[in-house]
């Protein structure tokens, strides 16, 4: 019975330790101490409750045992932190990236971090094309089911190839990173922001066409304003589509936004093209996507 209780306590300490990682990631000693102290307090409360009903033990018994367990928790936490910093860190290869012994035991925190990282673009940190395909399809289905307006904006950096050709890919990467940060500051809390390839970004937002157009213009103006303080004269073009009777899957929604993006490119760049005359179907049937060279 005592062995089972010890195993239970150890598991509870590890689980609580993991949960505290969101708030005390760098405070290793505090994190361990709080985890151990909470579990031992819970044990002491349970033990005293049973003892009180059986023998009528006074409250002083609870506090006497509790103080002893808190002292033990303090000593244990100090010894464990010392072990982790002086012994464990030397024995665990740095390439494994383990921050402490509980990561060695459970791997859960690193697993959760890996899951989050896998869905993101390595350069900008934005959600990548794979996430766009999966999340976008789910969002379109939800829009059709709930009749809630969903719009897609595809944003492309104008003449991006010339930046790479003149200044090198390292400078081009800096431009993309800066644009990702700017877009992140402009999108709403319910919007999803993706890098879907090269210099192309996508925003999926729960908003009707007029508000999506307003966001597109806000992005376009913000990029021009930020470019005035950098070494590059950067502009962007954007195409917008909204879920409707003619765009009932992500492929249709993307194709229409992509057509409008290329129309923005072919009619002068630095502009946003959305629904013309309130009829997206007409736009799809009367406008053919032109060919463009890389980095347009």
pLDDT in tens, 13-68: 777 777 777 677 778 788 888 888 888 888 888 888 888 788 888 888 888 888 88
SS3 call for 205: strand
**The pLDDT of residue 76:** 83
Residue 87 has a CB neighbour count (10 Å cut-off) of 11
Q: What is the pLDDT of residue 279?
A: 41
CA dihedral 279→282→288→292, nearest 10 degrees, is: 0
Cβ partners under 8 Å of residue 33, min gap 6: 73, 74, 77
Residue 220 neighbours by CB distance under 10 Å: 19
Record: fold of 129-286: Alpha-Beta Plaits (3.30.70)
Q: State the pLDDT at residue 46.
A: 84
Of the candidates 174, 183, 223, 222, which has an alpha carbon nearest to the alpha carbon of residue 204? 183
Neighbours of 10 (CB within 10 A): 12
pLDDT of residue 291: 45
Q: Give pLDDT, residue 270.
A: 96
| Coil, helix or strand at residue 142 | helix
CB 143 within 8 A of CB 243: yes
Whole-structure pTM value: 0.59
Q: Tell me which residues of the chain have a pLDDT lower than 70.
A: 1-7, 22, 87-118, 229, 277-296
What does the domain layout of the chain look like in residue ranges? 2-118, 129-286
Residue 185 bears catalytic tag: no
Catalytic annotation, pick one of 109, 199, 275, 280: 199
Whole-number pLDDT of residue 158:
95
Q: Which residue has the tokens 């309130």?
A: 278
Which pLDDT value is given to residue 229?
67
pLDDT for residue 159: 92
Q: Determine the pLDDT at residue 116.
A: 52
Do residues 275 and 240 make contact, with C-beta atoms less than 8 angstroms apart? Answer: yes
Distance between CA atoms of 217 and 89, rounded to whole angstroms? 52
Cβ-Cβ contacts under 8 Å for 216 (sequence gap 6 or more): 153, 155, 238, 240, 272, 274
């Amino acid at each position: 019975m005592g062995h089972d209780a010890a195993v239970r306590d150890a598991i509870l300490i590890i689980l609580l330790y993991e949960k505290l990682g969101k708030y005390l990631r760098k405070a290793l000693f505090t994190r361990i101490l709080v985890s151990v102290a909470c579990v031992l307090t819970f044990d002491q409360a349970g033990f005293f409750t049973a003892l009180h009903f059986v023998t009528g033990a006074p409250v002083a018994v609870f506090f006497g045992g509790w103080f002893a367990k808190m002292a033990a928790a303090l000593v244990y936490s100090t010894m464990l932190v010392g072990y982790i910093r002086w012994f464990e860190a030397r024995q665990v290869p740095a390439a494994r990236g383990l921050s402490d012994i509980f990561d060695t035991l459970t791997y859960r925190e690193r697993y959760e971090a890996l899951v989050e990282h896998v869905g993101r673009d390595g350069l900008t940190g934005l959600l990548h094309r794979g996430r766009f395909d999966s999340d976008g399809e789910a969002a379109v289905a939800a829009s059709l089911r709930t009749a809630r307006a969903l719009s897609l904006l595809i944003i492309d950096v104008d003449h991006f190839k010339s930046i790479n050709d003149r200044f090198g890919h390292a400078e081009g990467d800096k431009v993309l990173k800066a644009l990702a940060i700017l877009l992140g500051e402009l999108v709403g809390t319910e919007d999803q922001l993706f890098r879907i390839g090269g210099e192309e970004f996508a925003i999926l937002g729960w908003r009707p066409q007029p508000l999506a157009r307003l966001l597109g213009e806000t992005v376009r103006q913000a990029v021009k304003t930020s470019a005035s303080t950098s070494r590059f004269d950067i502009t962007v073009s954007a195409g917008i589509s909204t879920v409707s009777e003619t765009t009932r899957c992500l492929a249709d929604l993307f194709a229409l936004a992509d057509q409008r993006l290329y129309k923005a490119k072919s009619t002068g760049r630095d502009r946003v093209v959305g629904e013309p005359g309130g009829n997206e179907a007409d736009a799809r049937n009367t406008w053919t996507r032109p060919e463009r060279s890389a980095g347009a």
